[in-house]
Structure 1
Amino acid sequence: MSAIPKTEKNGIAVVDIDIDDDDIDAAAGDYIVGSSSKPPSFQGHLDHARVHPKFLHTNATSHKWAFGAIAELVDNAVDEIQNGATYVKVDRVHIIKDNSPALSFLDNGGGMSPESLRKCMSLGYSSKKSKTTIGQYGNGFKTSTMRLGADAIVFSRATCSGKLERLLDPRFRLHRDTISLCQPSAPRFTVLLSGRAKNHRSSTIPIDFDISGHWAEPIIYGSQDDWSAHLKTILEWSPFTSKEELMLQFDDIGLHGTKVVIYNLWLNDEGIYELSFDDDAEDIRLRDEANQGDMKKLHKKAVQLQSHISYRMRYSLRAYVSMLYLKKFSNFQIILRGKPVDQFNIADELNYSQIVSYRPQLAMGSNEAAVLTTIGFIKEAPNLNVSGFNVYHKNRLIKISEKL
């Protein structure tokens, strides 16, 4: 955009923009991906991981900031509101297997069928065509989980054609080739795993369970030895040590929903987990950012200013998520470490606020829509040295205090 109004010092502006996704889709190109309901054979065959052609166009959606990656996974749950989701729970879980922390996301949306889950695991594929959904390009899940940790395991339960299907899918490891277990017909329980495949090739392996009876029965396409070997691989590379422990993960999902567990979380340059779970029992913090504003080393006035949400949202997930969506949800909660997040709109806290209609001044004849912008001064001005525009797209914060 050009001819953008400048902000005064200590001013915060909130902008909600809407980009025409048809133009983006046209630039990306239209691709048709066929689907198959046939489960791949186990015998001598590893089904390769898929890469959708749009991935070549949309691979720029990677994350440098850990909170940006977390926001992508929260977005997936928010997109499930149209399928009945009423909450997403973000929490730390403890991996007993190696005594390490992991990050968990749980929603009660519609869940994914085996076919949907298989497509979800491909790069660049997206079935989200609605203009109201945040996710569009099929990269968010993959890039966000890779940003936060080396491995992720996904559990999803969906009701398809009146039958309950339960799915488990650990995603590919960043440093190992993909093994996945997938694509049954209902009603089955599917397990997908990431690990090291034979010959170091990126491959997928299906393991199914028939749950039409009172307990899960393995569906064997090859031999019992093959099936047992694949299960052993899952237990070797996942955080869980038994088939029973895997299936227990569905207990907190309910009738439908999805659970993502990201483990082998990344470390910072000092060899410490970059996400801190110990500073606040109701929050998740970025360790390096939080240390830059160590309250113990600051004067009383500085502590007061550093406590402002415009600072805290850079290292406190609770503060950041509170401003992540411009309009408040009516029937949906983001629950962080057991406590709901109170949504916060900084535009409601501005002094001398004004609503300005801004229209980008582009080429002659352009049909850019006007943007309503709320501008004003934060209450702590001029002492608090924060200014810029908070920019929202489809109700979602995409730029923080952007200098324009």
Structure 2
Amino acid sequence: MTGLPFSLVCALSYTLIQNGATFVSVDKIPNPRDGSPALLIQDDGGGMDSEAMRRCMSFGFSDKNSKLAIGQYGNGFKTSSMRLGADAIVFSRHLNNGILTQSIGLLSYTFLMQTQLDRIVVPMVNYEYNTSTSSLDVLNGKEHFMANLELLLRWSPYSSEADLLKQFQDMGSYGTKVIVYNLWFNDEGITELDFDTDPKDIRIAWDVKKISTIPTRKRIQEEHIAKTFRYSLRVYLSILYLRLPKTFQIILRGQAVKPHSIADDLKLVEFIKYTPQCAGPVEELFVTIGFLKEAPHVNIHGFNVYHKHRLILPFWQVVRYQHSRGRGVVGIMQADFVEPTHDKQDFEKTSLFQKLEARLKSMTWEYWDTHFKLIGYRAEDKTRTRVTKPLPSLQKSLGYHNKRKTDEPIDLQKRKKHASEEYVTGLGFGQNKQITTTPADEVVNPETINLMQENKKLHTECLELEKRGEELNSKVVELRSKIEEAQNEYNQLLAELQSLDVKEE
């Protein structure tokens, strides 16, 4: 997504879900130094202790080994925040085994440039809450702390330690807050992020008047989600995740983002099975494909490819069509078998990815050739649109097959009549009927798809319950700590009372 500097939010959100967060909030705030606009990203996830903060702020480090995590290069936060503005300050509160820590780190391009340092310096200060004194203790040595605090007060938006610590007041027992300031300007001298056009959105500077003056028919296309996601953060976030837990919300400028399923925008939908040609067991994949409901009045097509539920390639145009062939065809799939690039804007160009691209291209043409008359398109000149097969020596490397039994389209209309009979037979009823079987990789009936979707839904709910259990365990630890503090205070008061009784005697 060229020209869309919202990768910071994207890099944070899914990791937050795994870390127990129930929300991530994005908003505009004023820079206390000069009143200029700054970008705030805040969550209620598990936060980071001092070591985790150091790793987050260091270049080239990553500990995301989970199969659910999409970040692995260790530079996502740094590069994305620097794409948004010159400077970023991070506040994080973490609670573990009754130990509460608060960390503050600064990643400042302004500081590095004006001091002309020959190495990257990231000032950080760390505190630990002392339950006996109800105060914050300095970690990592007083001298080191004071040197870093001085840099924070000089180069951050806050001029006193008290102002820095105030940023933790709206956090619970854990959470993280990122403030990106000194936002970049475009060639016209205004900030790249537009906070004014829509008070409930954050946009890329865009000529709104130009869109409003174009003809109505073309305006339908320009106002389609396939176009607006490029400059509207709200639209982009609405399609960013294929699936989100019900307990998690993305809040933009005080208003929750409503998730949008691109599949709901399609008509004449089919599900096509795709089996990646890679080593080891691979989960069965289904590509959802159909015509946009606005077809044939819009010139939009392409596949929306997700990786671990996160959108990597939106409306990826695998077909450079001539005339009309392929127009209006849109697909959705999740491709966990290929690896995304470090900025999550593309996939690594491996042989698996090239085979996927080739198959999606042929899939588009196969679907269009079968359905175009139902939409209102006219047949094309076969001599101009004919697709030639690759040379035999290249067919294997491109994943081309004359007869492809692993990813054939499922015609739901034709299968609907037989679906209930197959389901009843599978349950052991209707034994007087002749039982016939079909290869599992050729046809999949709707009941099977529903069962698979229900299984994935239950799996997601189990993960949510596990995360909820972890949150409750954390709260138990916190409550036990408070009970212990109360017990100590009670014992102290009781001892004082007993000493007073002795004196009176």
Matches for 1:78-89 after TM superposition, within 5 Å: 78-89=14-25
| Alpha-carbon distance in 1 for matches of 2:21, 2:303 | 31
Q: Does 1:214 align with 2:128?
A: no
Report how many residues are paired: 316
- In the alignment, which of 287, 291, 297 is matched to residue 207 of structure 2? 291
Secondary structure of the 1:167 match is strand
Secondary structure of the 2:311 match is strand
State the structure with more CA Rg: 2
Aligned residues: CA RMSD: 2.6
Letter in 2 for 1:242: S
Partner of 1:119: 55
Provide, for residues 236-268 of structure 1, a one-character-per-residue CA deviation record: whole Å limited to 9, x for no partner: 100112211111111122110111111111111
Matches for 1:114-153 after TM superposition, within 5 Å: 114-153=50-89
- In the alignment, which of 96, 106, 109 is matched to residue 174 of structure 1? 109
| Alpha-carbon distance in 2 for matches of 1:219, 1:375 | 56
Matches for 1:90-129 after TM superposition, within 5 Å: 90-129=26-65
Secondary structure of the 2:109 match is coil
- In the alignment, which of 310, 322, 331 is matched to residue 396 of structure 1? 310
Residue identity (%): 42
Q: 1:237 to 1:380 in 2, by over 3 A?
A: same
* Runs of at least 5 residues in structure 1 that lack an aligned partner in the other structure: 1-62, 178-194
Secondary structure of the 2:267 match is strand
Partner of 1:307: 223
TM-score, normalised with respect to structure 2: 0.58
- In the alignment, which of 239, 261, 266 is matched to residue 323 of structure 1? 239
| Alpha-carbon distance in 2 for matches of 1:401, 1:293 | 25
| Alpha-carbon distance in 2 for matches of 1:328, 1:217 | 38
Letter in 2 for 1:66: L
TM-score, normalised with respect to structure 1: 0.72
Give yes or no for contact 2:105–2:125 (8 Å, CA) kept in 1.
no
Report the CA distance between 1:312 and its aligned residue.
Answer: 1.2
Partner of 1:279: 197
Give yes or no for contact 1:124–1:137 (8 Å, CA) kept in 2.
yes
Provide, for residues 28-81 of structure 1, a one-character-per-residue CA deviation record: whole Å limited to 9, x for no partner: xxxxxxxxxxxxxxxxxxxxxxxxxxxxxxxxxxx95334523433xx232232
Q: Does 1:158 align with 2:94?
A: yes
Partner of 2:10: 72
Q: 1:99 to 1:350 in 2, by over 3 A?
A: same
User: Of the two structures, which has the highest relative contact order with CA contacts closer than 8 Å and spacing of 6 or more?
Assistant: 1
Matches for 1:28-39 after TM superposition, within 5 Å: none
Provide, for residues 180-224 of structure 1, a one-character-per-residue CA deviation record: whole Å limited to 9, x for no partner: xxxxxxxxxxxxxxx86686543355544453133335568465x
Give yes or no for contact 2:103–2:127 (8 Å, CA) kept in 1.
no
Partner of 2:299: 385
| Alpha-carbon distance in 1 for matches of 2:227, 2:201 | 15
| Alpha-carbon distance in 2 for matches of 1:387, 1:79 | 30
* Runs of at least 5 residues in structure 2 that lack an aligned partner in the other structure: 319-505
The structure richer in strand per residue is 1
Letter in 1 for 2:253: R
Give yes or no for contact 2:100–2:128 (8 Å, CA) kept in 1.
no
Report the CA distance between 1:271 and its aligned residue.
Answer: 1.3
Letter in 2 for 1:134: I
| Alpha-carbon distance in 2 for matches of 1:96, 1:135 | 32
